[in-house]
Amino acid sequence: MPKIVINRIQKTAKCYVEDLGNGIELEMVLIPRGSFMMGSPEDELERRDSESPQHLVNIQLCCMGKFPVTQAQWQAVAAMPQVNRELNPNPSNFKGANRPVEQVSWYDAVEFCSRLSQHTGRNYRLPSEAEWEYACRAGTTTPFHFGETITTDLANYDGTDGENNQWSGSYGQGPKGVYRQETTEVGSFGVANNFGLYDMHGNVWEWCLDDWHSNYEGAPTDGSAWFNSDKNLIDKTGQAMLRGGSWFGNPEICRSAYRNYYGRDSRYDNYFGFRVVCGVGITY
Q: What is the pLDDT of residue 231?
A: 75
Q: What is the pLDDT of residue 99?
A: 98
- The segments of the chain whose pLDDT lies below 50 read 1-3, 5
Q: What is the pLDDT of residue 209?
A: 97
In the chain the first and final C-alpha atoms are separated, in Å, by: 48
Q: What is the pLDDT of residue 10?
A: 55
Closest residue by Cα to residue 168 from 79, 213, 177, 103 = 177
Please name the fold of domain 15-279.
paralog of FGE (formylglycine-generating enzyme) (3.90.1580)
Q: What is the pLDDT of residue 75?
A: 98
Q: What is the pLDDT of residue 2?
A: 46
